[in-house]
Structure 1
Amino acid sequence: MDQLAAVEEKTVEVFGMKLRYLEAGPANAPTILLIAAPFLRKETWQLTGHFDAFAAQYHVYALDNVGQGNSDKPLINYSIGTLVDFLGGFMDAVKIQKASLVSTSIGAWAIIVFALRNPDRVERLILITPEGIAPQPGELNPRGVDLNPATLEGMRRTLDVLFFDKATWTNDQTVKALFSDKMQADYSFVFQKLIESGFVRGEFMVDAQQLSQLRVPTLFVWGQQDEIVTLSYGRRYASLVAGARLLVIENAGHLPQLERPAVFTSAALEFLSGR
């Protein structure tokens, strides 16, 4: 198979907006599309080693969806539906007919909706701690929707609830770096609109009847110590999708792929191979 020389960062126009993405891997291999959570960036997949591990066997794209990372952030009324529409537009623009989709949190919620609308375009799903079903009492931490802090101390509290390993992820250097990133006015606008749409108005929630129609092989991934959406929520979610697997990663919170990257990568590659 022909190899791309290296990871390439590219730009494509979708609905008049410029979306940035990374691309690498054997040109004729099956396609994997990595979409970070709206509060992360496409480069996160590189920092944890996931991108390179996948690109050794697959043709891999890592996307900054609209409103995210280095992609355009128009002042529009963002919702899960916005992310879904731009994901489909991106796949059309770069001529991806079918791919395995991987995402986290709100991003994972969006790819569930995409798969329900476009089952013929999805090979497999890897869903890392998605929201998207109505929570039962105690399953959703209200602090989990406050990921747009306006102070350094607020950022520290946010990281404290996101991660199990508090010492590593709430140190001063990490807090200041992430706080600086989140101070972008456009980022604040995007995330607030997504929260209002998904969590305040409950738009694009999926139910048991809809999830029973999800026919693609699906892997749910949950941190055992997730403080934002509990493991019981994850177990209930996975039980609604026929044949779905649930991987529980110990000593990890809401972003288990960041806290335990080797565990996640190994399980993801096994699942993608069909084993």
Structure 2
Amino acid sequence: MKLIIRILGVLLLASGVFLVAGLLATWASDRTVAQLSARWAQPPSKFVEVGGMQVHLRDEGSRNDPLPIVLLHGTSASLHTWDGWVASLKDEHRVIRFDLPAFGLTGPDPHNDYSIAAYVRFVVAVMDKLGVQRFVLAGNSLGGQIAWETALSHPERVRQLVLVDAAGYPFVPTSIPIGFRIARMPGLRVLMEHVLPRGVVDSSVRNVYGDPSKVTRELVDRYYELTLRAGNREALAYRMDQGLSGDENQISKLKLPTLILWGDKDHLIPLDNGKRFALDIAGSKLVVFDDLGHVPHEEDPKKTVEALKEFLAKP
């Protein structure tokens, strides 16, 4: 009996040592905007004050463009997710993108309000700050829901709408990134405010790609480092708690030219949702990319931006 107790004691001690070692190995302190800006806020990045936040923003291309293109990223992403599109568009168009509250270098909202209504107000406030009255609005995932809600609330501002694997209807994922699952679990998400295994980020990014082999080390670096922006991990938990509120019955009231882009290998928001958008928005066009996932604009910007250009070229 004493031998068994002694063995159990050794096992508990060893488990404790491994646990502490694991925590130390994955301990990830918050990083300041100044620390991150050297890599992730190079020109043409700038910061503008909106709603008590210093918003990380890039405004590129022709200032003579009467209808700028505004790009909204999804959960845990940043304005960098649109790099490929911007490179292809900025010679002919003015392209505006920014980090939404809770993400990227913009960071937390001072009131922890991450409702869709708050995001809509934020988008309009940024446009007012830039003096842009009318624009084309594109959004991916969470950004897609913000986009169509903005178009409904401010039809005089949004002239054309682009939905990229957008949220809006109830959906049943076939696979959820592990980072999102952790953010919904009260005990673990508190721990994740202090530790962040790189493998969690790597797995989460691969999960939203149709072809995980396209996920590069630099791409994981970006998602990992910007997650460490001071306050972002706690803000993500608040964002998850507040959900994707919105009335799907309002979608059919959208009366503007709309392009819907979807990755057939999207395991988070399945293609059925894209087909529902296409049915509910009269005159909309759905383009499906067979080999792409939840972030097709990032996974294959060249292929996806061509569909956008064709849409923009129509009278």
Residue by residue, what CA displacement relative to the aligned partner does 1:81-108 show, whole Å, maximum 9, x if unpaired?
2211110111111111010011111011
Matched, 1:31 2:68: yes
Partner of 1:114: 150
Matched, 1:237 2:277: yes
Pairwise CA distance, 1:206: 2.6
- The one-letter amino acid of 1:244's match is S
Residue by residue, what CA displacement relative to the aligned partner does 1:15-45 show, whole Å, maximum 9, x if unpaired?
2222121112221212111122242221332
Residue by residue, what CA displacement relative to the aligned partner does 1:147-196 show, whole Å, maximum 9, x if unpaired?
85743333233223211112232x66654553343234511122222222
- Of structures 1 and 2, the larger Rg is shown by 2
Deviates more, 1:54-63 or 1:153-162: 153-162
Residue by residue, what CA displacement relative to the aligned partner does 1:119-155 show, whole Å, maximum 9, x if unpaired?
11001111110112123xxx33462543857433332
Matched, 1:160 2:206: yes
Equivalent of residue 194 in structure 1, options 229, 239, 247: 239
Equivalent of residue 80 in structure 2, options 37, 43, 54: 43
Structure 2: segments with no counterpart, 5+ residues: 1-42, 184-191
Q: Distance in 2 between matches of 1:45 and 1:93?
A: 21
Structure 2 counterpart SS, 1:163:
coil
Q: What does 1:123-202 align with in structure 2 at a 5 Å threshold?
A: 123-135=159-171, 139-141=172-174, 143-144=176-177, 145-146=180-181, 150-169=196-215, 174-175=219-220, 178-199=223-244
Partner of 1:103: 139
Structure 2 counterpart SS, 1:86:
helix
Equivalent of residue 13 in structure 1, options 37, 45, 49: 49
Structure 2 counterpart SS, 1:84:
helix
Matched, 1:71 2:96: no
Partner of 1:4: none
Shift of the 23–147 alpha-carbon distance from structure 1 to 2, 3 Å rule, reads farther
Q: TM-score, normalised by structure 1?
A: 0.85
Deviates more, 1:59-68 or 1:123-132: 59-68
Q: What does 1:56-67 align with in structure 2 at a 5 Å threshold?
A: 56-67=91-102
User: RMSD value over aligned CA atoms?
Assistant: 2.2
**The structure with more helix, counted as a fraction of residues:** 2
Residue by residue, what CA displacement relative to the aligned partner does 1:224-246 show, whole Å, maximum 9, x if unpaired?
11111111121122211111111
> What is the number of residues matched between the two proteins?
258
Shift of the 147–8 alpha-carbon distance from structure 1 to 2, 3 Å rule, reads farther
Q: Distance in 2 between matches of 1:21 and 1:181?
A: 15
Matched, 1:273 2:313: yes
Q: Distance in 1 between matches of 2:61 and 2:225?
A: 32
Structure 1: segments with no counterpart, 5+ residues: 1-6
Q: Distance in 2 between matches of 1:8 and 1:178?
A: 20
- The one-letter amino acid of 1:106's match is L
Is residue 208–residue 293 contact of structure 2 (8 Å, CA) maintained in 1? yes
Shift of the 174–41 alpha-carbon distance from structure 1 to 2, 3 Å rule, reads closer
Shift of the 232–153 alpha-carbon distance from structure 1 to 2, 3 Å rule, reads same
Partner of 1:90: 126
Q: Percent identity?
A: 25
Partner of 1:3: none
Pairwise CA distance, 1:270: 0.9
- The one-letter amino acid of 1:42's match is L
Q: What does 1:205-244 align with in structure 2 at a 5 Å threshold?
A: 205-208=246-249, 210-244=250-284
Greater relative CO (CA pairs within 8 A, separation 6+): 2
Structure 2 counterpart SS, 1:19:
strand
Shift of the 173–217 alpha-carbon distance from structure 1 to 2, 3 Å rule, reads closer
Is residue 82–residue 297 contact of structure 2 (8 Å, CA) maintained in 1? no
Is residue 225–residue 251 contact of structure 1 (8 Å, CA) maintained in 2? yes
Q: TM-score, normalised by structure 2?
A: 0.75
